[in-house]
Structure 1
Amino acid sequence: MRYCILIMFFLWSLISFAQTKITGTVHTSAEEKPLYNAKVTLQETGEEVITDRIGYFQFMNISPGIYTLQISMEGYARYQEKIKIQAERIYELGDIYLTFNPQNSDLGIITLSSEELDAEENTSGAPATLLSATKDVFLQTAAYDWGAFWFRPRGLNNENSSVLLNGISMNKISHGRVDYGNWGGLNDIIRYPEESAFGINSTDHAFGDLGGLTYYETRPSKLRTGTGLSYSLTNRSYRQRLMLTHNTGLMKNGWGVAASASRRWANEGRIPGTFYDAWAYFLGIEKKLKNHFLNLSILGAPYRRAGNNPNTNEAYNLKGINYNAYWGYQNGVKRSERVKDNFEPIFQLSHHWNINLKNQLKTTLSYQTGYNKYSRLNWYKANNPSPIYYRNLPSYFYYLNTRNKENLTDDEKQKYDSQLHSWRNDENWSQINWENLYRANLNLNSYAAYYLANDVNKDDAFGLYSHLRSQLNENTTLNIGFQLKNTHSHNFREVDDLLGASYALNLDDFSDNSFSGKYNENDQNLQKKEGEIIEYNYKINHHYYEIFSGLNYKKSAWNVNLMGKMAYTTMLRNGLFKHYAHGNSFGKSKDLNFTDFGGKLNILYRINGNHYLRLNGAFFTKAPSASAAFPLGRYSNTFQPDIRAAEMTSLDFSYLLRTPDFKGNLTAFYTISNNETQTSFGYIQLVQDNAFSNKNLFIAEVLNGVQKEYKGIELSLEGKISKTLAATAVASIGEYIYKNNPNLYYFSDDYASSDGYKLIGKTYLKNYKLPGTPQQAYHLGLQYRSPKYWWVGLSANYFKNQYINISPSRRTDNFTHLPNGKLYKDLQSENAEALLRKVLKQEKFSNEMMLNLNAGKTFRLGQYYMGISLSINNLLNNKNFKTSGFEQLRLGNYEAAANENYSKVFGNKYWYNQGLNYFLNVFLRF
């Protein structure tokens, strides 16, 4: 027995010593306390562990080789070390210290428009495509739990954020927003930013914007090495996704290659009549030459998808919240009139030069080309075929028969009830009737009464970026950079499908006898075939230049960053069609030039290792987008009068708590913007004699000199209830309003004789709420993380104070006055104020609560890693939540808006949340 025990002890010893183990203990550098829940990663294998209560971690059974050990935790400077494993033994790294610094936090920017949220959902099931690898609980909540319900941090839009790909700005010149579809499906590549800053926090690689900055690098040496394969199943815009990525990292011969490809598709999404067909590819090749790194990146994400429309309550009540009017049956197959077709590949060559230990220089040359198309039905001397055109809705029949009568006759009631029944049950009424459109064209046997057209945008964008980082001394770092982006944008409408006709006429159906109606008087050929340009054709030349410089000083308890920028923007329009009504439509416009400047100050003060104060302040100007500068750009070189750069002023002050068991942020913010431009398009009915004898104009409604105010408080708390159970509480309490009464202009063909626009006057918007987001949001969450690598989380989210997008035209003197200058009769009475308040009251959406669930499990299969995760938003299937909406422009006078039946015909339009949605993801890494 004694010998058996000795033999067993000997064998156990051999097994123990045969194991290869990496161990270490992570501490805070300030107080040398254990750092709990830090993530420790071996980049080459993708294996991850979490530090325990005493900061300890270990990796077992590691094969010989060279590994990059990386330790990261939100709010701390990232730690990285190369480890060479040669033999089977224990590698004890001892104590490792992380320095707390919120300036280096992995913070994500979540500022996506509703269209982007619907179009491009991300890999993890979060509704925000641009979600960086963040541990900040507020931003995690804003993306994963609130993003699906159109929450926008601090009320800011997509155009208020900067996204840089290897230093090149990805914001579009036409509207200033980022098109995330240009890299949709490349989640393994565009996942971990080199730098990410929320709001006006300090940045190194560029000046940034109100909503923050995200800077991505696509060098293979910066990406996770190995091979990853994943499959996803969802009920969102697409149904399935397949993604494969391989990265060699930087090999011994100095080369590195990364490649990724994905496919996302749905024969029909969760909205009827929508399909989704998207591909994506990436190739990155890097070469190290001593202290130089050259990197070639090629990426593209072609996709085609069908859209859906907002509706009035009338349409939703008849057909349900998933009703989509853009499709109809053709030969038994659903066909959509609104299809977005996009392919804008990017080619970049980057050079990284490590001049010495204190100086690094990054330079990127970029070219992006391709097209963005969006189809729609067009018609000439024919009726509008859309089922939701106001004359095709049941309410219009009711309005026609009751505006001058108190009651319907029995026959009229029967006819109205029959129309309601047909709308509910017969798709020939409630959807596009493609057979009727073909039949109308065949009956003409010549020009097209109906045809499909594409609105096309083709951009050729050349970019250059250079950034120098210099360590001036132990405490001071200098960042200085330059970027330029020259964009040549070609915009036109092309004939896509003649629907059985021989040609389409390049004539305006609405022109009167005093005009020829020709969209291009330089072209005598009015007959346009498929693929030819029709209606409008112009180019925008846009050039942007910027220099920026930042100085960062760190000493003792202080971290101070000072940054400034100077920028110059010039743009012009070049009309390629001579419009029949606009004398200045053809040829080049005058140059529009803007000189911008800005400054930013960021101060972080460490009270001690657990308590921090942070102050951020910024002021800068920002040139308008091309569409704001040329509101009627499709037809005219006329630019907006008195157009100026917007002025942005922003301040925020934060208290930060960091302990091993608790993390907390409390931030107060205030932002005011001046001289913004706001544009919308649509038909408006201007009164002539009375509300029902009026003139319909298609206009660009332009607000000039808009002032907006954003203020509020952000609170986030995260605490460890136990080693495996964590709780979170997050709140965003804001107020976002119009701060002044800006001028309103109408741009229209009808004002072509007066340079294409008319000054309407003041629009009384002051103190109306800004739309597009809940102004208050609250979150409570619990998450359990098992030591056996599975987790489950549940959160409750409550949204308040979301408002509809108001029509400025209703808040002008034109709305309340007759052409002779007198008030409408009702507004001359004693209760005029109450009557007007009722008509002009901004609709407030209902407060709603949502439950979200997420769960997952990871496995190790030998040298491979497998994982499965599931996220479910809106667990209780709440379908009452209006995520956005707007007042229709058409109600242009008080008498029309006050008429109950008339205002029903042109009621507010909404988007609804579609109810429960899920995202299931399975991955394999090897």
Structure 2
Amino acid sequence: MMKFKLLYWALFVNQVLFAQSMIYGYLKGEQDKPLDQTVVSLGEEGTIQSVSDRVGYFQFKDVAAGTYLIIINRVGYVPMTLTIKVSPGELKKDLGNIKLEYNPSQEDEGIITLTEDDFSSDDESSLLQSGISLLQSSQDVFSKTASFELGSYWFKVRGIDNSYANIMFNGIPMSKNRTGKPDFGNWGGLNNVVRYPYELAENNNISNYSFSNLGGTTYYDTRSSSYRKGFQFTYSFSNRTYQHRVMTTYSSGMLPSGWAFTFSGSRRWMEEGVIDGTYNDSYAYFTSIEKKINDKHKLNLTTFGSPARRTGMSPNTQEVYDLRGKNYNSYWGWQDREKRNERVKRIFEPIVMFTHYWNLSDQSKVTTTASYQFGYNKSSRLNRYEADSPSPTYYKNLPSYWLSQGNLSEYEHSLHAWENNDLAITQLNWDQLYKANNHAPTYQDPYSGQLGRRASYFLVDDIIKDKTFNAATHLQTFLNDNWKLFFNINYQNLVSNNYREVNDLLGADFAVNKSSFIKGDGSISSANDYNYLKPGSVARKGDKTEYDYQLFRQEFTGNATSRLTVNRWEVAVSFLFGWNEAYRDGKFKHGLYPNNSYGRSDKANFIELGLRTGIIYKINGRNFMILNSAYFESSPTLDEIFVNSRLNNDIIPTLSNQRINTNDLTYVVKSPVMKARITGYYTKIKNAVEISRYYAKGVSLEESQDAFVSEVLTGTEKEFLGGELGLDWKLTPSITLSGIASLGQYSYKNNPNLYILSDNSPGIHDYGSSYMKNYKITGTPQKAYTVAIRYYSPQYWWAGISSNFLQDIYSNVSSLSRTQNFIMKDDAFPYEDITPKNVKSVLKQKQFQDVFMVNANIGKSIKVGKYILSLNASINNILNERGYVTGSFEQGRNSNYEQLENDKSLAYPLFDNMLFYDRGRSYFINVSLKF
């Protein structure tokens, strides 16, 4: 008996002396609002981390007796460090409510509030805290600077465009089926409610909510109770994409009744932008209503939309810019003392979402969303029938044309008109268009017998009306503290109506449903009829003309992700399975394609598979190594399946999935004084499809040498190789020096096959290999550098200045000019005196000048009671550098050696590269009131 008592007391003393404790507490912010998604570190090295949940709760389990540092970091609040002691035998350490001091000057360095494109959470947030997500924080200097400094200069991280980006609202993907690109205009002006994503898995990082793509995943949770409680009013004044912006947002928080409401609305407008003849008038609304049924079930209804009306700007040759300056825009002209732009885009595609949040247990949760998006996307343009081009920059309307013809008198007359801005010559002449229609030939409608003036010029709208149903389910579960699983299932069904509609007949009675570019036989049933079902028909205002068809697509994707933490290692693995099918249903029977334009096409089916891995090794609490690797397939978009969908049902030959292999290796340092990362990456894309449309001369088609063509590259291989460096160094507690460098080399790695589809010649024409290997991929500078210094005052104001340097900027090249057709005078013989050196010289890819630009920003926050007033201002491109070419492409019009060589020998080539220039110095002033 005595031995038993001694053993009992020994075990009791051992349990008391060596028992491990649990440390927990609650984080509070302004107005005692719980702070979720806040990183709390245990120990000076921060090797053990927790993330606060929706009520601000965080915890650390199995903590041995001893003295520890608790380090708390959250954007917008002063970092806090606590020293705590865990006594032997103390099983629980309750830290109670920990209130952080609000500091607006810490909010993403202030400058983020100044951008137009910075376009928050519950107990699921703890699932996001993983080493794999280490680079998802807004504290990563490279990602932040690349987005908000270089992003305003059209810089693309790793050379990847947004067709590879995955943006999701409550699990619903926002990418358009036609292009694969998200339309940011669908939620433009809603910055207050989509400013902070719930998850940001950039580049090659693994997401919990999707398999991602090369551009990563940005996930927004629009649950009403996740938004900051209170009211916010914002006014902005700018010369960027708008002149004025007003935004108002209100969120009730979770009410005692179990309801929560969030509303936001905005308007952005400008009468004329920096580029002549452009304007913008856009609205936006957002509503989120949440109902808490009980602790396990919550429902949320979300709806948002952004009706907008804005105009386009034209690309121009260097000759035009030299004559009229870099703000010139050929798309407008005076009519009744008002500027009228032919390119007007009107868009309104609202979306409604219904989300169910289900807490299965403390370890498992399910989120399910169903959504429906509808509306319209209209783009206007001038059309013509048996008439010359009305564009003032048409090559025959420029001085260089008359000089090339040796007509000096006409050259001097044209040059004088352009240099002195004769608006009848230099801009669209709307009066002349009306006059031409008043003198147009009469035409008899064969169905009504009505005689009328048929339009030589008329305005049309290209209209897309998508109806998209989505359903998505996200399941997450903790198998234990170190092992987490995520499952995502998505289904999408699209019905897309596409047609061209007469917008304005410009004084005529109707337009003829025929093409003047297709040479028919002159009869009513000729090949130039847009609709062979009604040959010779006419179209009045509001009628359909030229094309009318539907696209159908349905898709299913499944994704599973596992995250495992073992000692200093964190490993994540993600799998993808996807299936989709698409087909076209033509409503017009085109005269050129009578057997392949009306009715349903064959179905195109694709299966996608993919694997991602992410590994982190924690050297210590401040040094990390990260390896991400992925191999996956991506199916073609609708535009890549039906390349000439306006005319026929043809599917691109040899079409298959893109095959993508991407890898990156990163070293990260995080210390109180310095944060840095260095990354090397390599991406290879195979079987890509590239499409461009233009008017070409010298195309050896069966019916005509000159034609509007669709140029289709298939089997394209691309390589993206480079490195990234980001450094953030606190010189003093108030002064921070930062810098980034992005060194990339993006190029084509093979000679893909080229197909030509013409608007005036039937069939698909195989041009063989296009010799694209080693040409540079365009759309972004391939190298970029930024150095910035910022000052944060304890009195809640801040200022910063940055310098940006961009290098290796190239023009896009014409694939047709790099085929065998380019050097052939006829089917059997090449052009005389042609040599490889001459061809290389003529086809050399255009490289533009390097550019240096300086930005600055300043801000101040004032807090009086519950009111917070924030004032911000920024200036981009202070030195007003106008030599930066943000986009360029070869016209492709001269598709043979003789024509192109002759054209390039001119002082001003008639078909020189088309260019877009940066808009120069810009400013942004922002005033925001919160309470």
TM-score (norm 1): 0.86
Q: Give the 3 Å change call, closer, same or farther, for CA 298–208 of structure 1 in structure 2.
A: same
Q: For residue 243 of structure 2, what is the aligned residue in structure 1?
A: 239
Q: Which consecutive unaligned segments of at least 5 residues does structure 1 have?
A: 1-18, 45-53, 58-68, 80-90, 98-105, 109-121, 402-411
Partner amino acid for 1:885? S
Q: Does the 8 Å CA contact 1:542/1:572 hold for their aligned counterparts?
A: yes
**How far apart are the structure 2 equivalents of 1:467 and 1:40?**
21
1:174 matched to 2:170: no
**How far apart are the structure 1 equivalents of 2:754 and 2:699?**
18
1:124 matched to 2:124: no
Partner amino acid for 2:438? L
- Cα shift at 1:554: 1.2
Give the alignment of 1:105-254 within 5 angstroms.
Answer: 124-126=113-115, 128-130=117-119, 134-254=138-258
**How far apart are the structure 2 equivalents of 1:555 and 1:92?**
28
Q: 1:431 aligns with which of 427, 439, 457?
A: 427
Where 1:619 maps in the other structure, the secondary structure is strand
Partner amino acid for 2:378? K
Q: Give the 3 Å change call, closer, same or farther, for CA 746–893 of structure 1 in structure 2.
A: same
Deviations 1:227-248 (A, max 9, x none): 0000000001210000000001
Q: Does the 8 Å CA contact 1:167/1:465 hold for their aligned counterparts?
A: yes
Deviations 1:103-138 (A, max 9, x none): xxx999xxxxxxxxxxxxx98333645499822211
1:418 matched to 2:433: no
1:388 matched to 2:384: no
Partner amino acid for 2:350? P
Q: Does the 8 Å CA contact 2:70/2:81 hold for their aligned counterparts?
A: no
Q: Does the 8 Å CA contact 1:287/1:295 hold for their aligned counterparts?
A: yes
TM-score (norm 2): 0.86
Q: For residue 6 of structure 2, what is the aligned residue in structure 1?
A: none
Q: Does the 8 Å CA contact 2:43/2:70 hold for their aligned counterparts?
A: no
Partner amino acid for 1:435? D
Q: Give the 3 Å change call, closer, same or farther, for CA 824–628 of structure 1 in structure 2.
A: same
Q: Does the 8 Å CA contact 1:351/1:364 hold for their aligned counterparts?
A: yes
Q: 2:614 aligns with which of 579, 585, 602?
A: 602
- Cα shift at 1:838: 1.3
Partner amino acid for 2:547? Y
Give the alignment of 1:196-595 within 5 angstroms.
Answer: 196-290=200-294, 291-401=296-406, 412-424=407-419, 425-444=421-440, 446-514=453-521, 515-524=526-535, 526-582=537-593, 583-595=595-607
**How far apart are the structure 2 equivalents of 1:93 and 1:737?**
57
**How far apart are the structure 1 equivalents of 2:225 and 2:749?**
48
Partner amino acid for 1:426? D
**How far apart are the structure 1 equivalents of 2:157 and 2:705?**
41
1:889 matched to 2:892: yes
Q: For residue 677 of structure 1, what is the aligned residue in structure 2?
A: 689
**How far apart are the structure 2 equivalents of 1:767 and 1:852?**
34
**How far apart are the structure 2 equivalents of 1:396 and 1:301?**
44
**How far apart are the structure 1 equivalents of 2:589 and 2:81?**
59
**How far apart are the structure 2 equivalents of 1:774 and 1:556?**
41
Q: Does the 8 Å CA contact 1:27/1:55 hold for their aligned counterparts?
A: no
Deviations 1:781-817 (A, max 9, x none): 1000000000000011111111110111111111011
Where 2:705 maps in the other structure, the secondary structure is strand
Q: Which consecutive unaligned segments of at least 5 residues does structure 2 have?
A: 1-29, 57-67, 83-93, 101-106, 121-135, 441-451
**How far apart are the structure 1 equivalents of 2:924 and 2:251?**
26
- Cα shift at 1:224: 1.6
Partner amino acid for 1:432? L
- Cα shift at 1:414: 3.5
Q: 1:778 aligns with which of 765, 777, 785?
A: 785
Q: Give the 3 Å change call, closer, same or farther, for CA 677–837 of structure 1 in structure 2.
A: same
Q: For residue 708 of structure 2, what is the aligned residue in structure 1?
A: 698
Where 2:698 maps in the other structure, the secondary structure is strand
Where 2:810 maps in the other structure, the secondary structure is coil
**How far apart are the structure 1 equivalents of 2:161 and 2:345?**
22
Q: 1:840 aligns with which of 838, 843, 850?
A: 843
Q: Does the 8 Å CA contact 1:744/1:763 hold for their aligned counterparts?
A: yes
- Cα shift at 1:223: 1.5
Give the alignment of 1:596-635 within 5 angstroms.
Answer: 596-635=608-647
- Cα shift at 1:751: 3.8
Q: Give the 3 Å change call, closer, same or farther, for CA 660–187 of structure 1 in structure 2.
A: same
- Cα shift at 1:334: 0.3
Where 2:309 maps in the other structure, the secondary structure is strand
**How far apart are the structure 2 equivalents of 1:316 and 1:176?**
33
**How far apart are the structure 1 equivalents of 2:469 and 2:80?**
35
- Cα shift at 1:700: 0.3
Q: For residue 788 of structure 1, what is the aligned residue in structure 2?
A: 795
User: What is the alpha-carbon root mean square deviation over aligned residues?
Assistant: 3.0
**How far apart are the structure 1 equivalents of 2:607 and 2:162?**
23
Q: 1:860 aligns with which of 857, 863, 869?
A: 863
Q: Which range moves more in the overlay, 696-705 or 414-423?
A: 414-423
Q: Does the 8 Å CA contact 1:27/1:33 hold for their aligned counterparts?
A: no
Q: Does the 8 Å CA contact 2:803/2:855 hold for their aligned counterparts?
A: yes
Partner amino acid for 1:188? N
Partner amino acid for 1:742? P
- Cα shift at 1:149: 1.4
Partner amino acid for 1:676? A
Identity of aligned residues (%): 38
- Cα shift at 1:510: 1.7
**How far apart are the structure 1 equivalents of 2:603 and 2:852?**
51
Q: 1:32 aligns with which of 20, 39, 44?
A: 44
Q: For residue 14 of structure 1, what is the aligned residue in structure 2?
A: none
1:907 matched to 2:917: no
Partner amino acid for 2:115? A
Q: 1:638 aligns with which of 650, 653, 678?
A: 650
Where 1:699 maps in the other structure, the secondary structure is strand
- Cα shift at 1:43: 11
- Cα shift at 1:41: 14
Partner amino acid for 2:264? S
- Cα shift at 1:516: 4.3
Partner amino acid for 1:907? D
**How far apart are the structure 2 equivalents of 1:857 and 1:597?**
50
Q: Does the 8 Å CA contact 2:592/2:761 hold for their aligned counterparts?
A: no
Q: Which range moves more in the overlay, 439-448 or 343-352?
A: 439-448
Q: Does the 8 Å CA contact 1:27/1:96 hold for their aligned counterparts?
A: no
Q: Give the 3 Å change call, closer, same or farther, for CA 247–182 of structure 1 in structure 2.
A: same
Partner amino acid for 1:564? F
**How far apart are the structure 2 equivalents of 1:886 and 1:336?**
23
Partner amino acid for 1:383? D
Give the alignment of 1:791-802 within 5 angstroms.
Answer: 791-802=798-809
Deviations 1:565-613 (A, max 9, x none): 1000100000000000112000000000000100100011101011100
- Cα shift at 1:525: 6.4
Q: Does the 8 Å CA contact 1:482/1:547 hold for their aligned counterparts?
A: yes
Partner amino acid for 1:413? L
**How far apart are the structure 2 equivalents of 1:41 and 1:204?**
17
Q: Does the 8 Å CA contact 2:392/2:427 hold for their aligned counterparts?
A: yes
Q: Which range moves more in the overlay, 215-224 or 618-627?
A: 215-224
Q: Give the 3 Å change call, closer, same or farther, for CA 488–260 of structure 1 in structure 2.
A: same
**How far apart are the structure 2 equivalents of 1:607 and 1:184?**
42
Q: Give the 3 Å change call, closer, same or farther, for CA 669–344 of structure 1 in structure 2.
A: same
- Cα shift at 1:833: 2.7
Where 1:682 maps in the other structure, the secondary structure is strand
Q: For residue 666 of structure 1, what is the aligned residue in structure 2?
A: 678
- Cα shift at 1:341: 0.3
